[in-house]
Structure 1
Amino acid sequence: MRLTLPDRYFDYLPWAAATLLVAGVVHIVSVLLMPTVAPRDAYARLLATVGAAPVNRLVALPPMAPGAEALPFEDPAFAEAVCVYDLSQGMLRVTTNADGEDYIALSFHARAGRVFHAITDRAAIKGKIDVVIGDARQMDALQSASEEAPPQEVRITAPTKRGFVLVRALAKRPSDQARAREALAAVTCERFDPPKD
């Protein structure tokens, strides 16, 4: 004797498929919208951590403690500093020396926290990292003012006027934290005014 499903169950199949499809679309849309509508995004958390720190200045983040991380997924092996920027006040230049022995990484984040560029000490030219950030209009003006960038200078077009640069220095051992913080102190983050012709 062969068991068969009653025909009425087949009447429910289109409704079940439609329900699963709608649930899937709602889930995907809510996940994609979460970074935009979240009130405590990375930018807001950093502003709360650094307080009234000036814009376009590097500020060392406090050492990590469980439950009091400034950013999610932080690694206690890194010393961190942040430079909150506002390109409406002018372009930004980030520079540091890289000796090849100490790992240092810079990640450039848009206002919503999305990374739009990253660089490490391995990209240093002649022992120096030199990055200039501006919006599209500022970069066009810089390109027209000078024929080409100096060989050691990296020019980045930011997708938003506001954002932040996260600088991380690796402490290979817990006793190297002081050395990692010294590497952070050597990083400069300041307003950049292109030379006039």
Structure 2
Amino acid sequence: MRLALPDRFFDYLPWAAATLLVAGIVHIVSVLLMPTLAPRDAYARTLAAVGDAPTGLVALPPMAPDAEPLPFEDPAFAEGVCVYDLSKGMLRVTAPADGEDYLALSFHARGSRIYHAITDRAAIKGKIDIVIGDERQMDALQSASDEAPQQEVRLTAPSKRGFVLVRSLAKRPSDMARARERLASVICERVDPPKD
């Protein structure tokens, strides 16, 4: 004897499929919007760790459980941040690179997106030199230096505010003091745009 499926099952099948589809779409959209809508994003956590109006590079405290200013930090790195606001001028980041010690810089926009990253391997003549500005500032800098060869890496930031995360690797726990010294040699300074 063969059991037949009730006709009501087929009546509810399209509704069940539509409900699952809508629930899946809502889930995907909420996961994708969470970094933008989160009140404690990486930019807010960075400002909380370094204060409201920092100048230059600010070293982050050593990592401790449940006290990390930024997510997914590695205790083998000494870290520091440069918070910038391009409405006050461009930012120049310079750092010496010796080729033996790992140094990494990542550039974060206000919405916590990383828009550029660089390591000491990209240093020119033992020096990392990067200028960050908005589109208008970069156009003014380009027109002012058409004749002169470009000596630095120029980055156009997607938003006026953001931060630069600098990481210096300590190969062994005993090298942490040396990694912090390398971190202190990184200079973040405001640069006035060229006059027309």
Q: What is the aligned partner in structure 2 of residue 119 from structure 1?
A: 118
1:35 Cα deviation after fit: 1.3
1:54 Cα deviation after fit: 2.1
SS of 1:118's equivalent in the other structure is strand
Q: Structure 1 7/133 Cα, relative in aligned 2: closer, same or farther at 3 Å?
A: same
Which whole-Å CA distance do the structure 1 matches of 2:151 and 2:145 have between them?
15
Which whole-Å CA distance do the structure 2 matches of 1:169 and 1:148 have between them?
36
Q: Tell me, which stretches of 5 or more residues in structure 2 are unaligned?
A: none
Q: What is the aligned partner in structure 2 of residue 51 from structure 1?
A: 51
Amino acid paired to 1:36: T
Which whole-Å CA distance do the structure 1 matches of 2:102 and 2:83 have between them?
22
Which whole-Å CA distance do the structure 1 matches of 2:185 and 2:141 have between them?
26
1:11 Cα deviation after fit: 1.3
- Is 1:86 paired with 2:85? yes
Q: What is the aligned partner in structure 1 of residue 192 from structure 2?
A: 193
1:4 Cα deviation after fit: 3.9
Q: What is the aligned partner in structure 2 of residue 176 from structure 1?
A: 175
Which whole-Å CA distance do the structure 2 matches of 1:140 and 1:3 have between them?
75
Which whole-Å CA distance do the structure 2 matches of 1:65 and 1:142 have between them?
42
TM-score where L is the length of structure 1: 0.94
For 1:3-18, list aligned pairs within 5 A. Answer: 3-18=3-18
How many residue pairs get aligned? The number is 196
Q: What is the aligned partner in structure 1 of residue 130 from structure 2?
A: 131
Amino acid paired to 1:26: V
What do residues 116-151 of structure 1 show as CA deviations (whole Å, max 9, x unaligned)? 000000111111110000001111111111117745
Check conservation: 1:129, 1:152, Cα contact below 8 A: no
TM-score where L is the length of structure 2: 0.94
Q: What is the aligned partner in structure 2 of residue 34 from structure 1?
A: 34
Check conservation: 2:140, 2:194, Cα contact below 8 A: no
